[in-house]
């Protein structure tokens, strides 16, 4: 981190963000950041608790004259997506994020920035610490494990919170007010396979794909970015059909909610096909790079000779598996017929790992319509079951149904126009927000989501706009000062 970060305006947010980003906080590894938040609450003399699942809740009384206003829950999640470039030496379990300023943007050196949802956490910390900002009674809810399962929101028990209104600070467009989101489900295919010895007179090649943009598998899924797992399946399918290519290993993607940026594979061919295979594969690589030259200008695909492995997949397993990977749906499945421009249903083929006799394929299927979500999930299940895999569903969470008659929506819309002179974009999003889950525990609580501009979330290109954080801070303070009476 450079000293520039601490000098940015608004200083209360950027200072807390810098301190937060010094604490390792990958999903499911939040012990350090939970201790950090509990120490923060205690240092302010505020009631601070950790619930049964591990969420941190800090309560602050209303400022003078605001005691008759509705109680507000300020909510953000503590964990962050841990993604880094392949050539970046960084340990998310022990190191703090290395930030720097680039014009109007704050970025990280080769890793995700953690602005999703660290800026929301930092803004809440700034409100809790302030002795001058007017606000009603507050309950700050810092949930855990939002990015890899939403277990914090799922495990929050009814009755823990007393708030009337929940402000979720996890939206990534500063002109947007979120009133709904998609639900999701993990689809995981696994398969054990026999390994064959490498045939005589074989040559080995390493196939690599890197340099893709990646991004958020909900917010960016409609942008047509390349998926490294699907591009790799094209190379493998072509090589198998034309030259009898055999697969030794595949390692592509990482997190279920990040569009895969990189993939690598080790394959074997008969030496007799050497010249033809190299020419055909390079021709296909050139064709794919041409397809994606506008959206993926940094895409690099390569085929290079490598050391001969000891084993390859048994042919009777490899053939149907390559077909399943090739046909498995990735990207937008259906656009909403009711909300213009909204992705209704999608899938991200997020993770493909084949090695040592084991196959794992992980997908995240999202939809704002439950029946459509299950339709696509079942289609994926059928696809991989045809290849002999076992398919499991897990992490099912509901969407958030828009309430266009919400009183807090009216407040935010009015204030946005007063502050900016133009109306906000009121919308549902294709990302998974915790509001849908929290709403099942607190059905009478009004909920709304907003935040500053964050680009490239869930990728090492993640960046937060400094001027937008200033706009967001002004908006948040105005909202808290204008909460309706009970």
Considering all CA atoms of the chain, what is the largest pairwise distance in Å, rounded to the nearest integer? 84
Measure the CA–CA gap between 228 and 235, rounded to whole angstroms: 11
3-state secondary structure (DSSP) of residue 11: helix
Catalytic residue at 170? no
Measure the CA–CA gap between 73 and 57, rounded to whole angstroms: 10
- Provide the Cα torsion 312, 314, 319, 320; round to 10°: -120
Catalytic residue at 79? yes
3-state secondary structure (DSSP) of residue 278: helix
Q: Catalytic pick from 30, 145, 146, 220?
A: 146
- Chain centroid to CA 473: how far? 23
Bridge partners (DSSP) listed for residue 355: 358
Interacting residues of 254 by C-beta distance below 8 A, sequence separation 6+: 83, 260, 350, 351
- Chain centroid to CA 480: how far? 28
Measure the CA–CA gap between 231 and 240, rounded to whole angstroms: 15
Pairing of strands 311-313, 263-270: unpaired
Q: Catalytic pick from 79, 116, 147, 462?
A: 79
468 within 8 A of 121, measured Cβ to Cβ: no
Measure the CA–CA gap between 347 and 337, rounded to whole angstroms: 18
Catalytic residues: 79, 146
């Amino acid at each position: 981190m450079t000293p520039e970060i601490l000098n940015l305006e608004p200083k209360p947010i950027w200072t807390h963000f810098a301190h937060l980003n010094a604490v390792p906080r990958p999903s499911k590894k939040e012990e350090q950041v939970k201790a950090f938040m509990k120490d923060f609450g205690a240092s302010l003399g505020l009631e601070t608790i950790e619930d049964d699942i591990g969420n941190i809740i800090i309560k602050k009384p209303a400022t003078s004259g605001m005691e008759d206003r509705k109680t507000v829950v300020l909510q953000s999640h503590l964990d962050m997506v841990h993604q880094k470039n392949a050539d970046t030496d960084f340990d998310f379990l022990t190191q703090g994020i290395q930030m720097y300023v680039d014009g109007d943007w704050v970025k990280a050196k080769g890793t995700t920035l953690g602005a999703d949802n660290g800026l929301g956490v930092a803004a809440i910390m700034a409100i809790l610490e302030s002795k001058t900002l007017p606000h009603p009674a507050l309950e700050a809810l810092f949930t855990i494990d939002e990015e890899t399962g939403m277990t914090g929101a799922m495990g929050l028990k009814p009755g823990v919170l007393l708030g009337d209104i929940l402000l979720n600070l996890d939206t990534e467009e500063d002109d947007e007010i979120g009133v709904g989101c998609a639900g999701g489900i993990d689809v995981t295919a696994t398969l054990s396979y026999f390994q064959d010895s490498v045939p005589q007179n074989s040559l080995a090649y390493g196939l690599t794909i890197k340099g893709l943009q990646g991004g958020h598998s909900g917010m960016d899924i409609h942008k047509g970015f390349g998926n490294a797992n699907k591009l790799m399946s094209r190379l493998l399918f072509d090589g198998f059909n034309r030259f009898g290519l055999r697969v030794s290993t595949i390692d592509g993607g990482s997190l279920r909610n990040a569009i895969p940026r990189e993939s690598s594979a080790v394959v074997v061919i008969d030496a007799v096909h050497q010249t033809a295979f190299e020419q055909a594969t390079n021709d296909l690589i050139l064709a794919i790079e041409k397809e994606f030259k506008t959206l993926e200008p940094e895409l690099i695909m390569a085929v290079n000779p490598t050391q001969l492995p000891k084993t390859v997949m048994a042919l009777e397993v490899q053939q149907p598996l390559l077909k399943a990977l090739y046909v498995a749906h990735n990207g937008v499945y259906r656009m909403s017929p009711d909300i213009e421009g909204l992705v209704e249903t999608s899938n991200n083929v997020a993770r493909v790992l084949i090695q040592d006799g084991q196959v794992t394929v992980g997908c995240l299927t999202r939809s704002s319509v439950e029946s459509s979500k299950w339709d696509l999930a079942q289609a994926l299940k059928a696809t991989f079951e045809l290849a002999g895999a076992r398919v499991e569903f897990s992490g099912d969470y509901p969407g958030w149904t828009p309430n266009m008659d919400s009183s807090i929506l009216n407040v935010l819309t009015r204030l946005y126009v007063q502050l900016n002179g133009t109306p906000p974009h009121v919308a549902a999003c294709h990302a998974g927000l915790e509001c849908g889950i929290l709403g099942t525990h607190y059905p009478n609580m009004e909920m709304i989501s907003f935040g500053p501009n964050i680009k490239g979330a869930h990728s090492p290109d993640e960046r937060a706009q400094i001027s937008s954080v200033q706009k967001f801070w002004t908006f948040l303070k105005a909202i808290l000062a204008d909460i309706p009476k009970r």
